Homo-oligomer: A and B are copies of this chain.
């Protein structure tokens, strides 16, 4: 493969994670060292920054600040939730992207995100091939949801999982302090896949795990749920429940959106989320003191309790994307191939963007217990190696010191 000289763009897209910036850092630092890459451009707010020709010159950044990007949560370059049209129906955006690519002689495009972002990446890759513009396009995976196809796991998942497990263990301690009854319901992100809610079960390794775990992979039944909770509460006086935000009834209706006795009966939307709804329903059914806790944004930006393994792998994914592209590869996403027996090992592979985009990987049914209210050991064995090691990011005043980028628009 002949050497391809030109600029590269790195864009971040979709919901932020604790380590998406580690991947961007991996791309930027590796690209800055690559002889054939003439300029490293950061797209402001993902593909929107390309469409608007709002591109930062990453060589102008202080290397020390780039170094601590890996400990800075959320998307340092800015993110977007912008869906490209089908190019056969409307190629306006694609023409504009090509125009901007040509203007800056962009020959490398790295896109850092989840399902939708890999779809964007795939569409751009195919369009550039179709119009004969030579540009190497690589996807860099990212999603706390861990639902990308073709990879053992996704950067960002493990740090969120660690946050969730640590928080559940601490909440367990708090919820067991009185000799009076207490039921606690913790709502965890994950609309279609239960990887994150399942990770709450890691807290069991501390002796302080949830009694019940509900994932979207199993249809939810409110009566069975209430019976499950009541059985544990009646026996122990306590019950800690972890639920995925995406739990749904057999007809596909999300529990969070369905009317229940906990709503006002007039069809008014209730204000709290799923945790508040379930807490109210459990309270009505048991008479117990119940508390609903929604981990909300906290779980995806909690870099202070991030996984070192996750940070390093996120950086590696970005770096490998550049190495592969420079070596002549295009139209792929960096993926992880891992072995766990005989000690955890993680290597990267390259997967076709087609197979990654628009497919949501679920938790295998056999990793969930038969009753559909708990997690089996293979799930724990799968997640545990991923959360190992502590994020030891820099601090100032004993508070996190985040990267401060200058974001100088490229000339």
Copies of this polypeptide in the complex: 2
> A392-408, CB under 8 A of B: which get 1 and which 0?
00011111111010000
Given contacts A45-B178, A293-B296, A399-B202, whether A276 and B266 have CB atoms under 8 Å apart is: no
Interface residues of A in 267-323 (CB under 8 A from B): 268, 270-273, 276-277, 279-280, 291, 293-298, 300-305, 307
* Segment at the interface with B among A78-86, A134-142, A349-357, A368-376: A78-86
Contact A280 B291 (CB under 8 A): no
Task: Find chain B residues with CB under 8 A from A384 CB.
Answer: 397
The answer, yes or no, to whether A174 is at the interface (CB within 8 Å) is: yes
Task: Find chain B residues with CB under 8 A from A304 CB.
Answer: 166, 170, 305
Most buried by B among A303, A389, A400: A400
* Segment at the interface with B among A203-211, A222-230, A335-343: A203-211
Contact B177 A402 (CB under 8 A): no
Of the candidates B80, B176, B177, B270, the one whose C-beta lies within 8 Å of that of A178 is: B80
CB distance from A191 to the nearest CB of B (A): 16
Task: Find chain B residues with CB under 8 A from A296 CB.
Answer: 291, 293-294
Contact A297 B305 (CB under 8 A): no
Of the candidates B266, B291, B301, the one whose C-beta lies within 8 Å of that of A297 is: B291
Interface residues of A in 376-398 (CB under 8 A from B): 384, 387-390, 395-398
Contact A293 B301 (CB under 8 A): no
CB distance from A157 to the nearest CB of B (A): 15
Given contacts A166-B399, A305-B305, whether A81 and B276 have CB atoms under 8 Å apart is: no
The answer, yes or no, to whether A32 is at the interface (CB within 8 Å) is: no
Chain A count of residues within 8 A CB distance of the other chain? 73
Compute how far the CA of A173 lies from the CA of B390 in the bound complex, rounded to whole angstroms: 20
Compute how far the CA of A266 lies from the CA of B267 in the bound complex, rounded to whole angstroms: 12
Contact A162 B398 (CB under 8 A): yes
Task: Find chain B residues with CB under 8 A from A303 CB.
Answer: 170
> A2-34, CB under 8 A of B: which get 1 and which 0?
000000000000001000000000000000000
Contact B73 A399 (CB under 8 A): no
Interface residues of A in 63-87 (CB under 8 A from B): 72-75, 78-81
Of the candidates B48, B165, B301, the one whose C-beta lies within 8 Å of that of A174 is: B301
Most buried by B among A176, A295, A301, A398: A398
Contact B170 A73 (CB under 8 A): yes
Task: Find chain B residues with CB under 8 A from A399 CB.
Answer: 162, 165-166, 169, 202-203, 205-206, 387
Compute how far the CA of A277 lies from the CA of B400 in the bound complex, rounded to whole angstroms: 30
Contact B173 A72 (CB under 8 A): yes
Contact B272 A402 (CB under 8 A): no
Task: Find chain B residues with CB under 8 A from A409 CB.
Answer: none
Contact A307 B398 (CB under 8 A): yes
CB distance from A113 to the nearest CB of B (A): 12
Task: Find chain B residues with CB under 8 A from A48 CB.
Answer: 179
Compute how far the CA of A310 lies from the CA of B319 in the bound complex, rounded to whole angstroms: 41
Contact B266 A262 (CB under 8 A): no
Shortest Cβ distance from A281 into B: residue: B271
Contact B271 A301 (CB under 8 A): no
CB distance from A233 to the nearest CB of B (A): 18
The answer, yes or no, to whether A264 is at the interface (CB within 8 Å) is: yes
CB distance from A377 to the nearest CB of B (A): 14
Residues of A within 8 A of B (CB): 16, 44-45, 48, 72-75, 78-81, 162, 165-167, 169-171, 173-179, 184, 202-203, 205-208, 262, 264, 266, 268, 270-273, 276-277, 279-280, 291, 293-298, 300-305, 307, 384, 387-390, 395-402, 404
Contacts A202-B397, A266-B266 supplied; 20 other A-B pairs, CB < 8 Å: A72-B173, A73-B173, A162-B399, A170-B400, A171-B297, A174-B300, A175-B297, A206-B402, A262-B271, A270-B271, A271-B271, A271-B272, A271-B277, A272-B273, A276-B276, A294-B294, A298-B298, A305-B305, A387-B397, A387-B399
